[in-house]
Amino acid sequence: MKTNLIKYYVLTIGFGFISSLLFAQSYSDGLLFSQTTNNGTARFVSMGGAFGALGADFSSIGVNPAGLGVYKSGEFTITPSFKTQKVNSNFLGVSASDNKNRLYLDNLGFVMSFKPYKTEEKGLLSYNIAFGYNRTNDFYSNTITLGDYNKYSIMDYFSSITSGNYSPQQLEYSDNYDPFNGLGA
């Protein structure tokens, strides 16, 4: 009994220590992924997302699932979108630009409305079921920079982050594959 208790404590402390070293996301990732853009059906986007409160629009289901109860009949929806991105840069007098055009599918889905009883006087009048896909954000980005700058290299940057302890010449590639060659180690 006592050895099982000791094993339990050792495993608990061991797993606790190992899990303290692990991380998956930071607070900035949480903030990035919690932001949404105004994507959805044309009706939803044109009203700035206000149909989240009104309902009876497929995109509103992602904002307010209770909006599904407003449907009186079934619906199939598909919303393609076209996005273009242009990037310009100028580095040391060298200009560069890049264009990207992308076709997206902002949402795709259907709503089925059922009336279980022929009379609509009391009780359950209807129920609705929806299946679909809504794009809530777009993380696609493009960056371009061109230029010829022979005065400095990436080694100068690496040298600067070592607090000036090593020169760029000491950090250069060596033939013997010894990473500590010339570093005084």
Closest CA to 43 of 11, 89, 75, 88: 75
pTM value?
0.56
- Lowest mean pLDDT of 11-20, 133-142, 154-163, name the range: 154-163
CA pair distance 175, 173, nearest whole angstrom: 7
Query: 78 has which bridge partners?
Result: 108
Classified as helix, coil or strand, 78 is strand
Would the pLDDT of 142 be above 80? no
Query: 131 has which bridge partners?
Result: 110
Please give the structure tokens belonging to residue 138.
Answer: 């777009």
Residue type, 4: N
Query: 133 has which bridge partners?
Result: 108
Please give the structure tokens belonging to residue 116.
Answer: 């279980």
